[in-house]
């Protein structure tokens, strides 16, 4: 029988290194588990939930480890298809941190939301709120929704303040949507901060901006149960702010080259995590 090619054989954990054909991506599982433990302890010390982002690896086995090591904190996915793969692997607590559009995808999203124990998705405008509400209504159900605000990255998210409040009210007015909270990804800090002190200051400012919007929404009688923030570089600082309930770092499991590059300079090895 011919020897199978790498694409024909299933990758195996703990197989002898001599059996590997190169190039191959290797993970030092001990180091990865130590990294996950460090962030789990940091989250616990700061009184927030660690819900790890799985977009970096997209591997259910690693997502299960992150979920277990964070005491059942759940996971985050950036794409609907990734969330479906994680759900199929048995993960029951999934947050989709990106805006989904298109009726077919929204039908899949509603189905996923029905399938797992706990699910939430992200919106940031009328253009994705109303079609999501319509999809939930088509399936005679409701979907938990997180409103993303843009606190500096300029990628996705609605402006904080009045505009965010108006969208929160719009979500609450839809009988098939449940307003569950706010997401604010302060990744701009990673590129702007050049010292640990600057990380502290910029993360604090970003969280103050988030808190201002949360207060405005709560002042209108809308509870903001969840406030999700944070990537690998910023979570240790942002999670100290009392407005934060949850952090969503992803790269921390590996601390890849991009992450290390962003921490060079004065921050360097001084970084606690
Ligand atoms: C919304 C959101 N939250 C969290 C993360 C995780 O950030 P990091 O990969 O820096 O840990 C990402 C990654 O891009 C993201 O897009």
pLDDT digits (tens, 9 = 90+) for 174-224: 999 999 999 999 999 998 998 889 999 999 999 999 999 999 999 999 999
Name the residue ranges covered by the structural domains of the chain: 28-270
Report the run of H or E that residue 105 belongs to, with start and end: helix 103-115
Among 249, 252, 271, which residue has the most ligand 1 atoms within 8 Å of its CB, making it the best to mutate?
Answer: 249
Nearest CA to 263 among 240, 241, 234, 242? Answer: 234
Report which DSSP code applies to 270: G
pTM of the model: 0.92
CATH topology for the 28-270 domain: TIM Barrel (3.20.20)
**Ligand 1 surroundings by CB, under 6 angstroms:** 53, 55-56, 78, 97, 185, 231-232, 248-252
Q: Over the chain (273 residues), what is each successive 10-residue block's mean pLDDT?
A: 74 77 85 95 98 95 97 98 98 98 98 98 98 98 98 97 98 98 96 91 98 98 98 96 98 85 54 46
Contact 118, 86 (CB under 8 A): no
């Amino acid at each position: 029988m011919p020897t199978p090619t790498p694409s024909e054989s299933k990758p195996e954990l703990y197989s002898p290194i001599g059996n590997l054909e190169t190039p191959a991506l290797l993970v030092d599982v001990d180091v990865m588990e130590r990294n996950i433990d460090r962030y789990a302890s940091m989250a616990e010390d700061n009184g927030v939930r660690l819900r790890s982002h799985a977009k970096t690896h997209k591997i259910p086995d690693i997502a299960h480890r992150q979920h277990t090591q964070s005491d059942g904190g759940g996971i985050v996915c950036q794409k609907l298809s990734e969330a479906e793969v994680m759900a199929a692997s048995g993960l029951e607590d999934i947050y989709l941190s990106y805006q989904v559009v298109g009726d077919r995808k929204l039908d899949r999203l509603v189905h996923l939301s029905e399938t797992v124990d706990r699910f939430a998705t992200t919106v940031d405008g009328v253009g994705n709120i109303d079609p999501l509400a319509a999809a939930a209504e088509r399936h005679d159900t409701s979907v938990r929704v997180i409103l993303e605000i843009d606190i500096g990255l300029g990628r996705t998210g609605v402006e904080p303040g009045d505009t965010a409040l108006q969208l929160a009210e719009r979500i609450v007015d839809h009988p098939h949507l449940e307003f569950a909270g706010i997401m604010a990804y302060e990744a701009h800090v990673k590129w702007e901060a050049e010292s640990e002190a600057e990380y502290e200051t910029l993360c604090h400012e970003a969280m103050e901006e988030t808190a201002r919007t949360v207060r405005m929404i709560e002042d209108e009688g809308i509870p903001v149960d969840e406030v999700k923030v944070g990537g690998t570089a910023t979570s240790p600082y942002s999670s100290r702010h009392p407005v934060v309930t949850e952090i969503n770092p992803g790269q921390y499991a590996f601390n890849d080259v991009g992450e290390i590059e962003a921490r060079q300079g004065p921050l360097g090895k001084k970084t606690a995590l």
